[in-house]
Amino acid sequence: LLVLKRQAERFVLPVLEASDDRMEKGYEVDIWDVDTKTKHSLIFQKRSKSYVFTGNWNKDFSKRKDLKLYDTVGIYWDPSNKRFDFFVLEVRKDRV
């Protein structure tokens, strides 16, 4: 899952408190699927001009939820549980 650099710097990096070196290698984060009430571990990593959630993203989220290009998802930090919460906001009606 691609996260734009500006969004990552504003919403993700402050809660991780990770060094640049750590972000190059990747930082393991817990993700809670709000819909299924299941916990997953992903790697949040810096790429050249953006950041990505990798690891089991395809298996645990993209394929399992049948996500397609331009579907809209939400991820927010849950400070009481120290994890990111994930949910599907919108599925495009004209999906291919």
From edge to edge, which strands make up the β-sheet containing 50-55?
Answer: 2-4, 50-55, 38-46, 27-33, 83-90, 72-78
- The stretch 48-75 carries a mean pLDDT of 89
Q: For residue 46, what are the domain limits?
A: 2-90
Count of domains forming the chain: 1
Residue 95 lies in a domain: no
| 72 in any annotated domain | yes
Sorting pLDDT into bands at 50, 70 and 90, what band is 79?
very high
In a domain, 35, yes or no: yes
- 41 contacts 55 by C-beta, under 8 angstroms: yes
Q: What is the mean pLDDT of residues 57-84?
A: 91
Cβ(23)–Cβ(43) below 8 Å: no
Of 12 and 24, the one with more pLDDT: 12
The residues, ordered by sequence, that sit 6+ positions from 66 with a Cβ below 8 Å of its Cβ are none
Classify residue 63: in a domain, yes or no. yes
In CATH, what number is assigned to the domain containing residue 12?
2.40.330.10
Lowest mean pLDDT among 2-6, 20-24, 67-71, 75-79: 20-24
Residue 24's pLDDT band, with cuts at 50, 70 and 90, is: confident
